[in-house]
Structures are given as C-alpha cells and as structure tokens.
Amino acid sequence: MEHNSLFAICGSAFLAVFVLLAVLSAVMKLIIYIFPEKAETDAAVIAAVASTISRVFPGTKITKIERV
C-alpha cells in the first residue's frame, strides 16, 4: 500500500514542477513581448564591455564589439 502512495507522490511532484516551469516560460515570453530588446547599442554598454575585457585581459585592444 505504501509503495503505491510513493509513486503517486513522485508523480504529482513531477507534474507540479512541469506545470510551474511551463507557467514561468509563459511569463518570460510575455515579458519579452511587452518589453522588446532595443536594436541599438548605447555607449554605456560599449564602455562596460571594454572595461570588463580590459580588466580580464590586461593590455588587450578592443577593435570591434559584435552581438552574438
């Protein structure tokens, strides 16, 4: 009898996690739809990337920054 209830608990936990991840995915898609990504890159982003790369790899000259 206990063996069957263990399977029921595991199954319901798996289903709950699956539903929770599906809801979070839908919320993320809604947020991306409401707030689309800007196409242009502003000077603050370029300065932050250049500063980080210079700190990680000292003496490096940055010639081009591309979005992947």
pLDDT digits (tens, 9 = 90+) for 5-50: 888 999 999 999 999 999 999 999 999 999 987 767 778 888 888 8
31 and 47, same domain (yes or no):
no
In this structure, the answer to whether residues 52 and 31 fall within a common structural domain is no
Considering the domain architecture, whether residues 8 and 31 belong to the same structural domain is answered as: yes
Residue 2 has pLDDT above 70, yes or no: no
Query: In the chain, how many domains are there?
Result: 2
28 plus 54 within the same structural domain: no
Same domain for 50 and 21? no
Cα–Cα distances (Å) from 38 to 30, 42, 45, 48, 67, in that order, read 16, 10, 12, 17, 12
pTM above 0.85, yes or no: no
Q: Does 7 share its domain with 22?
A: yes
Same domain, 26 and 46: no
| Residue 52 lies in domain | 38-68
